[in-house]
Structure 1
């Protein structure tokens, strides 16, 4: 399945989903996006940059390093991270960021209306991640 089709399927499967995107943090690019509304390119570019900051920002990587240090881990496995899913609640929306297990530099972003059941949003987002990862 193509990324475009996987994104469309994810948007349909996740309750109250208004947008879904797939970010490559190593390049900083939004590889694909599906939304119910059109958005200016600069906003979509910021989604990719903000996703990178959430998972790879200076403070986040420092927290991961300190966790390793406190646990006596001197050589964390390649691609292993402490932060694999991040949920952000805004005034009207739920934003779910899920790091790919196959490629830790890839993150899917799911945006649903705040009225949606958070448990179902998380469950369906996780299930949709399988098809998104397979499409790349």
Structure 2
């Protein structure tokens, strides 16, 4: 299965399984580009692309890479190129955003957005399961 099919299947799994689902996307951190997205509402492509760039900043922005380098030097526990930040959860006024780095390809991040009233445990469980499907398909 090629990457496009895997990404598409993952987005379908998010929509099907994640409670209070509103949107999801997959970002390639090496380019900062959105590989694909799915939303229940129409959003202009330029806004989605901007969110993809923001996702890249969350995981590999200058300050984040500096923190990882400092921890690497002090703790020596990360392999070269390894990353500390694997998942990031953000609450906004009405939404919850979960960003999950792919375990087998750390340059790929899946993002899922739900309504704020979502059961966080179910949100994490279903989103992680969909990412595992992404991993198994590779």
TM over 0.5: yes
The equivalent of 1:101 in structure 2 is 103
The equivalent of 2:84 in structure 1 is 82
Task: Indicate yes or no: 2:8 matched with 1:4.
Answer: yes
State the 1:76 CA deviation.
3.7
Find the residue that maps to 2:82 and give its secondary structure: coil
Q: What TM-score results when the alignment is normalised by the length of structure 1?
A: 0.91
Maintained 8 Å contact 1:6/1:132 = yes
Structure 1 residue runs of 4+, over 4 Å off?
none
Deviations 1:55-104 (A, max 9, x none): 00111111111112221x1x842442110000000001000000001111
Of 13-22 and 78-87, the range deviating more from structure 2:
78-87
Find the residue that maps to 1:119 and give its secondary structure: helix
Q: What TM-score results when the alignment is normalised by the length of structure 2?
A: 0.90
For structure 2, which runs of at least 5 residues remain unmatched after alignment? none
In structure 1, distance between residues paired with 2:23 and 2:70: 34
Within the candidate set 82, 93, 98, 1:91 is matched to 93
In structure 1, distance between residues paired with 2:80 and 2:136: 20
Aligned residues: 134
In structure 2, distance between residues paired with 1:38 and 1:87: 23
Within the candidate set 35, 42, 46, 2:39 is matched to 35
In structure 2, distance between residues paired with 1:21 and 1:4: 9
For structure 1, which runs of at least 5 residues remain unmatched after alignment? none
Q: How does 1:123-134 map to 2 (within 5 A)?
A: 123-134=125-136
